[in-house]
Structure 1
Amino acid sequence: MSTTPAGIALLGAGIFAKEAYLPALASLGDAAPPLKAVYSRSETSAKALVVAASEVLKLTQPPSIYYDSDNDSSVNLAALLARDDITAVVVALPITTQPGIIVKALEAGKHVLSEKPVAPDVKQGLELIRQFDEKYKPKGLFWRVAENFEAEPGIQAAAKAIRDGKIGNVIFFKAVAVNYVNKESKWYKTPWRTVPDYQGGFLLDGGVHTIAVLRTILPNPLTHLSAFASLNKDYLKPHDTINAIVKSDERFHGTVELTWGFPTNTKPQTDGFVVTGSKGWMSINHLWSPPVVKVVIKSITEAEDGKEEVVEEVIEETGRGVEFELRSFFDAIAGRDDGLGLGDPSAALVDVAVIQAALNSHGNLVALDQLLAA
C-alpha cells in the first residue's frame, strides 16, 4: 500500500483560485492536504495556475496539469478524478458548469468543496442536494459550499454577540452592498461573467454573500420578501440592482439593497450591515485594504442612577474566510467536526432563493418556503 499522503485537486484556474485559494492553502501549511493536481478547461490557464501554485505554496513537486483535450484522454478531468491519491476536490468553476462537475467528482468518490452559489437556480440546487443526500452522503462523502463570508471570524463574532443578547431582541435590520463595475474590471473581463447564462449576473454571483451574512448573524431565518430588480448598465445584463423588503415571519424585518451598477467608484459612506435590537444596535463592515471585518456593538445598559448608558464594543478580525472554510472542510473529511455548520448546501440554497425571489418578485410578496419546496 502506498504511503503517499492523500491529496487534493483544484478544479478551476481563474482569479479566485489564484488570489484566494492559493494564499489560503499557504496559510494553512501542513493543516492542508498537499495540492497534487489542477484542472482548467484550457491548458494555458492550467499551466499558469501550476506556476502560481508552485511559487505561492513553495512546492518542490508541482501539481499535475489536467485540461479539456480532444486528443489526449490522459490529461482530462476524468483522468484526474480516477486518481486514488486525490481524496477531495475544490471546485471554482463558472456557475453553470459547477453542478455537473460536482456530481462527477462525487461519483468518483471524492469529497467536494464547491464555490458559491450552490447552483444557478433553486430548481437545480434542490436536485443537486437530493442526489447528494440519497446517493453520495450515505457513502460517507462530504460536500460543502464555499461561502467565505459566513466563515469570516468577524461575521461569526457578530453572530455570537447577537445570540448572547448584546443588542437584545432583533427588531429590524438593513444590508447594503454598493459596487461599481466597469468594462475594465478584472471580474467583468472573465468571459463567463461578460455574457452570463444564469439569472441575475453579478447579483447572483456576489449577492449571495450579503444574504449569507444575514443568514449567519440573524437569529431566525428570512421567510418573505417583496422586491424590485432593474438593469442600469446594459453591459451588466440581465440585472444589476435589487431593492427588497424582507421579513422573518412576525419576528423582525429589514431592507436589502444590492447594486453592481453604481455610476462611480466614489461611493457613499454607508454601513454594510446594521442590525437594531431592543437593547442596542450593531454595524458590520468589510474593509478591503487590508481585509478586515469590523463589528461595532452599541449595547444599552442601566447605570447606577437609573439612566440609560450606551456601552461600545469594537471587534476587528482579519479577513480569513477562505482559509477558515478550507480548514473546516479538511477537518470534516478527517473526522473532526468544528461544529460551526459551515458550507451546508441547503443553507447556501436559501441564499440563492432570496436572490431568485427578489429578481422575480416585481413587488409581489414571495414566500421563500414555497419557492424552496418547488
Structure 2
Amino acid sequence: MPAPQEAATSTPLGVAVVGAGYWGPNLVRNFDAAPDWDLRVVCDLDADRAREVAGHRAADVSTSLSETLARDDVDAVAVATPAATHHAIALEALRAGKHVLVEKPLADSVPAGREMVETAERLGLVLMADHTYCYTPAVRKIRELVEEGALGQILYVDSVRINLGLVQPDVDVFWDLAPHDLSVLDHVLPGGLRPLGVAAQGADPLGAGSACVGYLTLPLAGGAVAHVHVNWLSPTKIRRMVIGGSSRTLVWDDLNPQQRISIYDRGVDLVQQSVDSADRRSASISYRLGDTWSPALPEQEALAAMVAELAGSIRERRRARTDGRSGLRVLSVLDAAATSLRARGALVTLEPVEQPLEIVR
C-alpha cells in the first residue's frame, strides 16, 4: 500500500483550459493525454468552438469563467486567450485559489505582469509562463551545456526567427515572435535574461501600422551581447540561434531534425602582450579549428514536458522552471523595446526583476 504522500501525488490534478482558439487545442490535447492531469473544462466565449476543441473527451464545456473557477475539481487554469486579457483572467483565477499557466507573453504591460506575479507569490500559488521552447530537448540540452561550462564564457548570442506571415493586427513582430527567443535566452543564460539595456530598430515597409521587421540588441554583463532578428516578410523560414563562447560555439537549428544542435570547437583566442613600461598592450590573435559534434537528443513533445512541469511545481510547492518572474523578465524586454522604438533605437535601461518568494502554501 503506498504511503499517504505517494497516494496523494498519484491522484491527477484537475485543469481547465480557458481559450479554444489557436493555442488552446494544443493545451487541451496535452493535458488530456498527461497522467498528471484530468481535463475538467474547456472554457470559451464561443460554445461551439469550445465543443469542437473538447471533441470526444470527457471534459465539460463552459462559456462562463466565473462558473469554471467556482468548481472544486479544478486545481489549475491554463490561459490561452489574447495577451490583453491575460491579466484579468489570471488575477481572477489566482484569487479563486487556482494555479495558473499563461500563454506567452505573460501580459500586455509590465505593471500588469508584475501584479500577476506578486499576487501569485502572496497567495502561495504557482504562476507559470508557457515558454514552450524551454521544454524542447534541444533547449534543455543547451542549458545543460552552458551550465557545465562546455562553451566557456558566453561572448555573444545571435538569434534569427524569420518567416512569411502571419502579420498580426494587434501586436508588432517583436511581441509576436521575439518572446520565443527571449524566453530561451532567459532559460539558458547564467542568471537568466538580465541585459544592461535594450535597443530596438523596426520597420513597417507594408504600412501595416506596426513593425513587420525588427532587430533587438541586448548588451549583457561582462561585455557580451545578444542580437535577435525577427521578420514576418521573409520568403524563407529560419529558426537559428548561435551562442558563441570562449571555448566553443553552439549552433541550434530548430528546422533541422537530424542535427538540431552542433558544437564547434572553433574560435578566436586573444592574447594580450605588454609592449612597454606604460603597460600599453597589443593583441596577438590565434584561431582554433577543432572538431564539430552533435549531441543525440530524445524525441519528446515540449508541451508534454511543460504540463508535467506544471504538475511537479504544484505538488512539490516550488517555483516552475519558467515561472512568472521568467515571464516578467521577457515582458520587461518587450516593453523596453517598444520604448526604444519610439526613441528611434535609443538604448533603454531595464528595471531589475526581483528574486521571487518561495511558494509556501
TM-score using structure 1 length: 0.78
Question: 1:15, CA displacement in angstroms?
Answer: 2.2
In structure 2, how many angstroms separate the alpha carbons of the residues matched to 1:371 and 1:112? 20
1:294 maps to 260
SS in 2 for 1:234: coil
Q: Alignment partner for residue 291 of structure 2, among 293, 311, 328?
A: 311
Q: Deviations over 1:44-69 (max 9, x none)?
A: 11111121xx2xxxx4xx211111xx
SS in 1 for 2:251: strand
In structure 1, how many angstroms separate the alpha carbons of the residues matched to 2:23 and 2:188? 25
- One-letter amino acid matched to 1:321: A
SS in 2 for 1:179: strand
**1:38 equivalent in alignment to 2:18:** no
**1:177 equivalent in alignment to 2:161:** yes
In structure 1, how many angstroms separate the alpha carbons of the residues matched to 2:95 and 2:317? 23
Question: 1:133, CA displacement in angstroms?
Answer: 2.6
**1:96 equivalent in alignment to 2:96:** no
Distance 1:218 1:100, change over 3 A: same
Distance 1:359 1:281, change over 3 A: same
Question: 1:256, CA displacement in angstroms?
Answer: 1.5
SS in 2 for 1:368: coil
**1:224 equivalent in alignment to 2:197:** yes
- One-letter amino acid matched to 1:335: E
Distance 1:292 1:308, change over 3 A: closer
- One-letter amino acid matched to 2:31: L
In structure 1, how many angstroms separate the alpha carbons of the residues matched to 2:24 and 2:67? 21
Q: Alignment partner for residue 21 of structure 2, among 9, 14, 23?
A: 14
Q: Alignment partner for residue 278 of structure 1, among 246, 250, 260?
A: 246
The within-5 A match list for 1:192-231 is: 193=168, 195-196=169-170, 200-220=171-191, 221-231=194-204
**1:349 equivalent in alignment to 2:328:** yes
The within-5 A match list for 1:231-270 is: 231-235=204-208, 237-262=209-234, 264=235, 266-267=236-237
1:25 maps to 31
The within-5 A match list for 1:330-345 is: 330-335=311-316, 341-345=320-324
In structure 1, how many angstroms separate the alpha carbons of the residues matched to 2:347 and 2:12? 53
- The RMSD of aligned alpha carbons is 2.7
SS in 1 for 2:141: helix
Alpha carbons 2:13, 2:311 under 8 Å: kept:
no
Distance 1:63 1:170, change over 3 A: same
- One-letter amino acid matched to 1:274: V
TM-score using structure 2 length: 0.80
Q: Alignment partner for residue 71 of structure 2, among 68, 74, 83?
A: 83
Alpha carbons 2:329, 2:353 under 8 Å: kept:
no
Question: Structure 1: where are the runs of 5+ without partners?
Answer: 68-75, 183-187, 302-306
Q: Deviations over 1:263-307 (max 9, x none)?
A: x2x35xx6611111111201012128xx78811111359xxxxx9
**1:365 equivalent in alignment to 2:347:** yes
In structure 2, how many angstroms separate the alpha carbons of the residues matched to 1:26 and 1:81? 19
- One-letter amino acid matched to 2:231: T
In structure 2, how many angstroms separate the alpha carbons of the residues matched to 1:319 and 1:272? 20
Alpha carbons 1:229, 1:359 under 8 Å: kept:
no
In structure 2, how many angstroms separate the alpha carbons of the residues matched to 1:260 and 1:242? 9
Question: 1:254, CA displacement in angstroms?
Answer: 2.9
Distance 1:148 1:334, change over 3 A: same
Question: Structure 2: where are the runs of 5+ without partners?
Answer: 1-7, 268-286, 355-361
Question: 1:210, CA displacement in angstroms?
Answer: 0.8
Alpha carbons 1:271, 1:283 under 8 Å: kept:
no
**1:124 equivalent in alignment to 2:97:** no
- One-letter amino acid matched to 2:28: L
In structure 2, how many angstroms separate the alpha carbons of the residues matched to 1:274 and 1:6? 39
Q: Alignment partner for residue 307 of structure 2, among 311, 323, 326?
A: 326
Q: Deviations over 1:212-261 (max 9, x none)?
A: 111222225322222212223334x4222221222113341132111123
In structure 2, how many angstroms separate the alpha carbons of the residues matched to 1:5 and 1:228? 47
